[in-house]
Structure 1
Amino acid sequence: MNIRPLEKKDLPHLYRQQNSRPVMALWFEEPYTSFDELSILYDRHVLDQSERRFVIEVEGDFAGIVELVEIDTIHRHAEIQIIVDPQYQRQGLAQAGMQLGIEYAFNVLNLHKIYLYVDVNNSAAIHIYKKLGFQEEGQLRQHYFAEGCYHDSFLMGLFFTEFSTKKASS
């Protein structure tokens, strides 16, 4: 497994992923409505320095995506997001993909903090995030609307110092 930058050739995979209502509900977003919209968004954001999008690959196959968004170079923080395709779930790719995204954020972008939002009922994701060192910083009540109802979300964060200490002790 490895990660590489998202390329235009990956858009059909991303389109399939982002048109899955259950998948996008985990990101608290509605699916894209057209491939044209996705293509326009790719062209608009490909040079955007406040975002980095990576494909998770397994033996050359698209298995998911890990993203760093809202990259703030002044305050040195960013939000991290991940989606693993259903056929690749339960293989440890979410944790491995997140680990590589975190390493990129801290070791390449020189960020101080990474944060994420997760549905309070997504215990599998919360377990992975805690294993990686993320800590709950707060709960946002009825913060996202997905799948017909409002969801509470945890805000979780990880500092570079916590990441480097955890990595050194492993």
Structure 2
Amino acid sequence: MPDNTSKSFSLRPLEKPDLSSITRWFQEVGDLALFDRHSRVPYDLATSERLWNMSDTPQNADDKCWFAITSQPTGVVGIIGLERISPINRDAVIALYVDHAIRRQGIGIRASALILDFAFRQLGLNRVTSYYRKDNASSRDLTSQAGFEVEGTMRQAWFSDGKFHDMIVVGLLAEHWNTRRDALAEELGEATMIAFGDGKSSGSKWPPHRSVTH
């Protein structure tokens, strides 16, 4: 059913000052282990700067792009990005994290949809992949709603909480996104919006039907 809350959010490139929020979020080891199968130790600011390529000696990172999800007056409320962008294979991996305080408000699915539009319609990708721990129901539901299809299970590939978990691999092709896109926009409704910049163009906001008012 459509979301009846009236809110607007923005996406912009991740910046160094945003890392203080990320560092605070990832002090929660359990949440960190759901977000990233490679990380178990809480981040400090220096680690965040290195992981997001914002240290004093940054490395070339053409294979990734990360965005901050922001709102007024709260500021940064989440991050979303594309990793392992391949111009040859025309694919990438999508990842998302939303602050505990604003989860279950439809922000994650809208941000994901906007990034999928960006991946397929601006970068010209043909495929987007995602991975999640099998017991992560939120990621399962979000990727399913966006149109991703389960492609396989990597058995016992994710160690956390003292045991091995299966990891689910899901994928979405550009042609399937184009089929799913309009129906998803209708399902979500327009009361809650997320946009790049002012959201005046149809390709820079989600849902894509009208302009954003802040």
Q: Matched residues in 2 for 1:5 and 1:33: separation?
A: 21
Q: Please, which moves more after superposition, 70-79 or 140-149?
A: 140-149
Q: Percent identity?
A: 27
- Work out whether 1:80 is the aligned partner of 2:94: yes
More divergent stretch after superposition (84-93 vs 15-24) = 15-24
Q: Which runs of 4+ in 1 moved over 6 A?
A: none
Check if 1:89 corresponds to 2:97.
Answer: no
Unaligned ranges ≥5, structure 2: 1-8, 187-214
Rg comparison, structure with higher value: 2
Taking a change above 3 Å as real, the CA distance of residues 40 and 118 of structure 1, as seen in their structure-2 partners, is closer
Asked if residue 5 in structure 1 is aligned to residue 9 in structure 2, the reply is no
Contact 1:142–1:151 (Cα < 8 Å) also in 2: yes
RMSD, aligned α-carbons: 1.7
Match of 2:45 among 35, 56, 59: 35
The structure showing larger relative contact order (alpha-carbon pairs under 8 Å, at least 6 residues apart) is: 2
Query: Is the contact between residue 20 and residue 31 of structure 1 (CA under 8 Å) also seen in structure 2?
Result: no
Distance of 2:122 and 2:135 partners within structure 1: 32
In structure 2, C-alpha distance between the alignment counterparts of 1:130 and 1:39, rounded to whole Å: 32
Aligned to 1:144: 158
Specify whether residues 31 and 102 from structure 1 end up closer, same or farther in structure 2 by C-alpha distance, changes over 3 A only.
Answer: farther
Structure 1 stretches lacking a partner, 5+ long: none
What TM-score results when the alignment is normalised by the length of structure 1? 0.91
Higher mean displacement: 74-83 or 44-53: 44-53
Deviation at 1:156? 0.2
Tell me the SS of whatever aligns to 1:163: helix
TM-score, scaled relative to structure 2: 0.74
**Any conservation in 1 of the 2:29–2:42 contact (CA below 8 Å)?**
no
Aligned residue in 2 for 1:110: 124
Is the partner of 1:43 in helix, strand or coil?
Answer: coil
Count of matched residue pairs: 170
Give the whole-Å Cα distance in 2 for the aligned partners of 1:46 and 1:10. Answer: 19
Letter in 2 for 1:92: G
Letter in 2 for 1:40: R
1:44-86 alpha-carbon deviations (Å, 9 max, x no partner) = 6675110000111122511111010011110011100101000
What code does the residue aligned with 1:17 have? W
